[in-house]
Amino acid sequence: MSQRFITPAKLFGPRFPDSNPRPQWDAAVICFRDPTGSRLVVEELGGAPWGRKVFWGIDETPALPRVFEATVAGRKVGIVTHCIWGGPQASILVEELAELGVRDILGFGAAGSFDPTLPQGTQLVACVAPATDGTSRQYGSGPFLPDPSLLALADGAEPVAVATVDAVYRETPDLVAAWRALGTQVVNMESAPFYAAASACGVRALWLGQVSDMLLDTWHDWHFDRQEMTRATVARCHSILERLPA
């Protein structure tokens, strides 16, 4: 790899002086969800606010903690919440978590389905993600894959191929047709760069979620009560964290 101008290692020195020690996490969950979905993960895992700055662009305040720590099956788990800004944020967080020594990262999110056999509420696991976005192409041509040992733990979730979009307000029937031609069934903003960065950094990663909206003849939106389907995904995340391979 050619020399990079900016790396997590170069930034972590001033970010973590003696007064702000680095977290010591074995695993992490990145919540690619809004505050409501993120809160359910924190509650399920029993997370407590970390209380100090850890990540690029994520600032902590007592009134709005964003980063939490939990203990699951004897492992320290970092939880990063409210991560809704897609590819660049996903890749930055994975690279910084890898620099912290985290070896297993779960992504928790939602996706829009353009496959009528995958209706709203379907529990998903991303088994392949082509490079349909700008960020993942910085890592390679794709397609990008989850860690097989983590994928084997995703009991009960539907394996899907995921397209990644940068501009949600520019999704069109023609774009959906192009995604279908690649063999994908759902779309979100983070799966390809999430897997791409994990592969580049040598960490194990797995994206889990549910179908939140439908992109068929019309848009069937996400403005309905999704708490129960979200709890099902959160419970699956918890179960995987309890069974992480050595």
Which residue ranges of the chain lie beneath pLDDT 50?
none
Residue pair 241/141 in contact (Cβ under 8 Å)? The answer is no
pTM of the model: 0.96
Q: In angstroms, rounded to a whole number, what is the distance separating the alpha carbons of residues 83 and 227?
A: 18
CA distances from 37 to 43, 154, 219 (A): 10, 19, 22
CATH superfamily assigned to domain 24-242 = Nucleoside phosphorylase domain (3.40.50.1580)
Q: Domain segments of the chain: what residues?
A: 24-242
pLDDT score at 224: 66
Q: In angstroms, rounded to a whole number, what is the distance separating the alpha carbons of residues 199 and 146?
A: 8
| One-character DSSP codes across 69-80 | EEEETTEEEEEE
What tokens were used for 210? 């549910």
- Over residues 15-68, the pLDDT tens digits come to 999 888 999 999 999 999 999 899 999 999 999 999 999 999 999 888 999 999
pLDDT score at 1: 59
Q: In angstroms, rounded to a whole number, what is the distance separating the alpha carbons of residues 161 and 115?
A: 11
Q: Where are the alpha helices (DSSP H) in the chain?
A: 8-15, 35-45, 87-99, 134-137, 148-151, 173-181, 191-201, 227-242
